[in-house]
Each structure stands twice: as C-alpha cells, then as structure tokens.
A and B are shown apart, each in its own frame.
Chain A
C-alpha cells in the first residue's frame, strides 16, 4: 500500500497529465458524433455574451455590404411581387411562406460568430430557446443555405455549418429530380462543397443549379445552394461526385433566416414506425 501511495506521489505530474489528456481526448471524440457535444459549445451564456458584444462593434465595419445584400433581396422580392403571374423569375426565392400553405415559419437572426477556417465549422446566432429556436431547424440567407441548428441555450444557438465534415444535407439538381447528399471534405476552398451519390443517369452539366431537395424535413424544397463547377464519376462508376460553388459567401454572413417546418414532427412520427 505504502508503495502504491509513494508511486502516486512520485508520479503525480505524469498522472495528472494523463488524466487531463484522456479527458480532452474524450471531449474531442464526443464532439465528433452528431448531437453529443452538449458541454463544449459556444452557445452558452458566457461565450454568447462575449461574442455578441464583440460583434456589436465589428458589425459597424460591415454595414455597407450588408445593406447592399438587403437591397438586392428587396429588389428581387419586389420584382417577384410585380411579376407575380410569371413563375420563371430568375433566382426565385422559394422561402415565401404563402406558397407553402403556411407549413413553414421564418424568423430572422444575426450571426455573432462565424468560423470557416477549420474542418469542423460552427456559427453562433443571437437567438435561442426564448425565441422558440430548437435543434434541427434550417438556417439560410437570402442567397442560399448556411446550415442546421444543432445546439441551443436560452439566448443563443449554434449552427452546424455546411462547411463542416459532419454536415449532410439532402440536395438535388434543379434541372431534374436526381438527388444527392451535400457534404464538405474539409480541404476544399471555403465556398466549394461536394454533392455526392448522384445517379450516373442524371443529366449533370457544368453551370447547372443545385437546390435543396424535398426529402428532408428541415429545408423546404427549392432553396438555391450553388452551381456545378466540375464533376467526376466515382471509382465504382455508378455515381457522380459534383463540386458545387456556393451562392453564399460563407466568409461574409450577417443576417440569416431560421426556417421551421411545422409538419416535421408529423412526418417524423409517420416515418419512424417503418424504421423499427
């Protein structure tokens, strides 16, 4: 017994190091599985508050750009109203809740922290549970999609960016109904993502538009994502992997919209018994 105690005392530095290293490894591994990084995230009172204060200052330097983006969006919406008989308006925004019979509700929010340099990027929003923000709501801007909310606190929410190797979003070609899964490999340039598992029979053309598919309960169908930059057939020869250039500039985001699908619980309830 004496020897064990002596051993612990002699090696207490090493043992402490080992303990702390294992704890941090555990946290790292936990953060790699979806929906489990509850403890270490920036959507809490302290970090959210600090980020909000800092973004209050830095927002002033960006007012010009953000105004321009808002004016562009107003412009497009206005032309949509004036030409409402015309369904072929270029870049038609499909988040108009009227055309979805009120199935979606939309809230605006502001990004207070934006990351795009690591392989697992997250954003922090200034709205949380007190504004009825929940997990698994979609986040978009006027130009395209941003990500999915994966963690909330009372006043803040964390968004799993599409620039995160964990992110998987259902997407499809605009020209046909061939679906694929939108991923990011962590190495590409920040405004390029990959659309994988597209059938080899799909009419893929460079310059075509990619939109969200209707298969997920998170995003409505038809939100623009980006255009096809290049594509290759997989080694197996069955599916295409498509490089998509995003419409959004992920490095310059400020105002976003949070979409809630009011039917999502009903759809999930209906689908779950089949899985069992």
Chain B
C-alpha cells in the first residue's frame, strides 16, 4: 500500500512537470497541445478514498493552472472528470468493475481506449469552454477539443503501454 502511495506522488509530480515544460510547448500545427497530465486521474487506483481522489485531482489541475496562467480551468475540468469517473468505468469495463477486481494493466486495450477517450473528451471540452468563455465561439471550442483530444488519447495510450509492461 505504501509503495502505491509513493508511486502516486511520483506520478503526480512527474506528470505536472512534463506537462508544463514539454507538452504545453508542443504547439503542433500552430496551437494543438496534448494534456497527458490527466493520466494521473485516469490511472488512479480505484479502491482508494474518493474524497481524497477528488481533492488530489483539484490540486493537480490547480498546479497546471498556476504554471499556465489559466485561472482555474484545468482545476474545474479535473474535478469534474474525477467526479464522473465511476460511471464511465462501469460503462467501459462492465462486470470487471462491478466486482472491484480491476487493474488497469490487465484490462483489454480496446476497453482502456474507450475509457480514456470519454474522460479525455469531457475534460478537454470543459477546459476549452471555460478558457474561451464565450458561447458564440462554441465551434472553436469543439474544434480545439476534438484535435487536442485525439492528440491526448494517442499520447496517453502510448505512455500507458510503455510503462505498463515494466510495472507488471
């Protein structure tokens, strides 16, 4: 249990630093950036305390906000994603989740991608909606959400494949 906590803390710090120093500066075709720091929320152990989980997600978003001068948009998106994670887990993994025996390393690749995609899309939509903060620019919001989500999903899948083998 203790090693799990250390693992989470390291993941928390490494993902924030990687996000603000590397991934926020990619600017693919002008302005498309991935936000793979959300992997912390996606891969957080399931049986743990939910209150703590939501609070940690808030801190994660807030740190990214402080670094990128964006007020509270990442924090809002992260808190929402953390809150709606259980229903999405149930939808993506079905019975496995019901029996509380789930481990992300052992899940099927397809299920994992569906699970990632749903949460990432919701996260990015809330984030860009709050960042642009103008309902008449909804098309711009959707466009940014779509492109960034695709980028993030690919990166998250790659990262989770790269690191899952080592942990097993």
Interface class of chain B by DSSP: helix
Task: Give the A-B contact count at a CB cut-off of 8 A.
Answer: 112
0/1 interface trace, chain B 67-98, chain A, CB 8 Å (1 if under): 11111110110011011000000000000000
* Nearest-neighbor residue (CB-CB) of A160 within chain B: B69
Instruction: Judge if B164 is at the interface, Cβ distance under 8 Å.
Output: no
* Given A24-B72, A24-B75: A119 in contact with B131 (beta carbons within 8 A): yes
Instruction: Judge if A106 is at the interface, Cβ distance under 8 Å.
Output: no
- Chain B residues with CB below 8 A from A158, complex form: 69
Question: A1-37: which residues lie under 8 A (CB-CB) from chain B?
Answer: 12-14, 16-17, 20-21, 23-32, 37
A20 engages B55 (CB within 8 Å) = yes
A40 engages B58 (CB within 8 Å) = no
- Chain B residues with CB below 8 A from A31, complex form: 69-72
- Chain A residues with CB below 8 A from B110, complex form: none
* Given A32-B133, A117-B30, A119-B131: A27 in contact with B71 (beta carbons within 8 A): yes
B80 engages A28 (CB within 8 Å) = no
* Nearest-neighbor residue (CB-CB) of A122 within chain B: B69
Instruction: Write the nearest CB–CB distance from A246 to chain B, whole angstroms.
Output: 15
Instruction: Judge if A84 is at the interface, Cβ distance under 8 Å.
Output: no
Partner of B71, one of A21, A28, A186: A28
Instruction: Judge if B14 is at the interface, Cβ distance under 8 Å.
Output: no
B83 engages A25 (CB within 8 Å) = no
B72 engages A13 (CB within 8 Å) = no
A187 engages B54 (CB within 8 Å) = no
* Nearest-neighbor residue (CB-CB) of A151 within chain B: B69
- Chain B residues with CB below 8 A from A28, complex form: 70-73, 76, 130, 133
Bound together, the chains give a CA A273 to CA B61 distance in angstroms of 44
Partner of B21, one of A23, A25, A54: A54
Bound together, the chains give a CA A120 to CA B33 distance in angstroms of 15
A115 engages B133 (CB within 8 Å) = no
Q: How many residues of A contact B (CB 8 A)?
A: 39
0/1 interface trace, chain A 103-131, chain B, CB 8 Å (1 if under): 00000000000011111101000000000
Question: B14-41: which residues lie under 8 A (CB-CB) from chain A?
Answer: 17, 20-21, 24, 27, 30-33
Which range contains the number of B residues in contact with the other chain?
Answer: 35 or more
Bound together, the chains give a CA A17 to CA B75 distance in angstroms of 11
* Given A20-B54, A117-B33: A50 in contact with B137 (beta carbons within 8 A): no
A42 engages B66 (CB within 8 Å) = yes
Instruction: Judge if B153 is at the interface, Cβ distance under 8 Å.
Output: no
- Chain A residues with CB below 8 A from B130, complex form: 25, 28
- Chain A residues with CB below 8 A from B24, complex form: 115, 117
Instruction: Judge if A77 is at the interface, Cβ distance under 8 Å.
Output: no
B75 engages A20 (CB within 8 Å) = yes
- Chain B residues with CB below 8 A from A50, complex form: 17, 20-21, 67
Bound together, the chains give a CA A16 to CA B57 distance in angstroms of 12
Q: List 26 A-B contacts (CB under 8 A).
A: A13-B50, A13-B83, A17-B82, A20-B79, A23-B58, A23-B72, A24-B72, A24-B76, A25-B76, A27-B72, A31-B71, A40-B65, A40-B66, A40-B69, A42-B66, A44-B66, A47-B67, A50-B67, A54-B21, A116-B27, A116-B31, A117-B33, A118-B31, A158-B69, A187-B137, A190-B31
Give me the interface of A with B, judged by CB distance under 8 Å: 12-14, 16-17, 20-21, 23-32, 37, 40-42, 44, 47, 50-51, 54, 115-120, 122, 158, 186-187, 189-190, 251
Q: Which 5 A-B pairs have CB atoms at the shortest separation, nearest pair first?
A: A31-B71, A27-B72, A24-B72, A24-B75, A24-B76
Give me the interface of B with A, judged by CB distance under 8 Å: 17, 20-21, 24, 27, 30-33, 50-51, 54-55, 58, 61-62, 65-73, 75-76, 79-80, 82-83, 130-133, 137, 140
